[in-house]
Chains A and B, each alone.
Chain A
């Protein structure tokens, strides 16, 4: 029962990782850009929620109504002002510019909020559990987070394959030049993709901040978790990414159970094993 409990916890945290990953793979899919500042933007969203909660006196979930549009706006502006200028055949500019952004966001947060560890308080729901069987109980909060992840990924999937915006994303992804000829404004489409990515990040950031302590330095590790979930799941498959997040979460939970020092290492080992034996990921998109 103990082990079953461990695995259930791993699955639930995996939903959060899948959300980190969804934002990352969304923009990679649309514009072949890997945003190294992704993790730091997650942490930025958490701090924006903190400020919203402290100034307006609302709860973390209510703060999403401010943080999500705000992050989307930041994403749109970031892409229009900065990142669109880095796109091209050369890999260096987008990587180095987002790397620079990562360092700037991290140290900016450090200047404003200090290195103290913070947490968003969600009240009684944080410790509420839901007994399933004797000795196995599921936390209500992790369950909400997992459900949110499934809903977000389902919505993204629908948006991608059922809407005009999704068609624009896919068209630009397949061939930006032809998409432009068909009347799409690539710079606008890219900026919308980044806005959507940061909106997903905002939800993930707030959910993360309710669950664990955060400080300005934890961004890169979130980027890495998201990245590992993408690669484990297989490029271009959002449901695969959810599976990748779950595998990563379970691997970490099992590692932590064996030895607390092994939690992160076990997740990385799962990732490296996939890279060694199935480099295209477990569920690559089949065309």
Chain B
């Protein structure tokens, strides 16, 4: 009995083209301080921040099935950690960003132990309670201005860089690095064995479990990793704003509602979805922002319609129509030894995913 030789490969030739386009786009964005004015740079930083937040929420809800409506807990936590680390410990603001992210991950461990006791729907509201608790605790921090918040002292602001322009460039590049880094990390994670497990959980949790995936362990890891990234983005956002208050840092509209709508409209459960969603969101915002709360209502209505009529979002429609894929994530099996112009990995003689060994 002979088993035909086979390889499991990622993507194909078309990914070379999209990889090249992606590299050009990132290079052009990295050079933005040369071609863009101050206003554009600020807008781009904001876009990067939302892209990162939405990608992280997509990983959490779209892949791991952890529908959290309380991710603003970690945006605010990261922001408050940045202010605390720079004001009280005298750390350099840019160094404080990764440390704030680490704090987010550390706090997420006991939080996960608690909220994972709530099943499905109740998990969602449980995460919201956690965010409320964080907000109320932040309002009790007298040293950081209590309920009314505080500003970043001028000495700390100038420690980023001497001139205002240099500061803006530094923050812009940090935002770009964060967004590219977070999306890149998610792609790498999805290409790892954990990615296989996550995709299986996304498609059918029961089937994933019966194939040996330790669902709870994978979900726990994703929750902590997401908290890490979300706290980093939160720290960056408020480093740019230079002012913090509990209501702004733990805003459910800004850091959870928008992020959810972006992901749903762009396409949940695909890496490209949140990126497309962010672009659509900012395009709409630039034209409709004057409408204020009407704009939020429209976004909510669009998200509901998308969820009911096209649950895979805009990118899902594109995939169904053209079969495009920007990131080489889809695995396919090719018979024979010839790697057909694609990167290949070894056949899967791997231990069960997520199991302890």
Contacts and interface: CB of A to CB of B under 8 A. Distances in A.
B129 A228 contact: yes
Contacts of B293: 107, 110-111
B297 A104 contact: yes
B152 interface: no
B129 A103 contact: no
A224 B301 contact: no
Contacts, number: 117
A99 interface: yes
A272 B115 CA distance: 9
A18 B137 CA distance: 26
B218 interface: no
B132 A224 contact: yes
Nearest to B296: A107
Chain B interface extent, by class: 35 or more
A279 interface: yes
Interface stretch (B25-33, B78-86, B303-311, B331-339): B303-311
Interface in A211-225: 220-221, 223-224
A36 B61 contact: no
Interface of B is mostly: helix
B132 A264 contact: yes
Nearest to B61: A92
A34 B124 CA distance: 9
A99 B129 CA distance: 15
B260 interface: yes
Interface of A: 28, 32-34, 36, 82, 85-86, 91-97, 99-101, 103-104, 107-108, 110-111, 220-221, 223-224, 227-228, 231, 261-262, 264-265, 268-269, 271-272, 275-276, 279
Interface of B: 61, 65, 67, 69, 114-115, 117-118, 120-122, 124-126, 128-129, 132-133, 136-137, 139-140, 147, 252-253, 257, 260-261, 264, 268, 293-294, 296-297, 299-301, 303-304, 307-308, 311
Given A103-B257, A103-B299, A268-B136, 12 more contacts: A28-B121, A33-B121, A34-B122, A34-B124, A82-B304, A85-B308, A99-B69, A100-B303, A104-B304, A221-B132, A261-B147, A262-B140
5 contacts: A91-B67, A101-B304, A104-B297, A262-B140, A265-B140
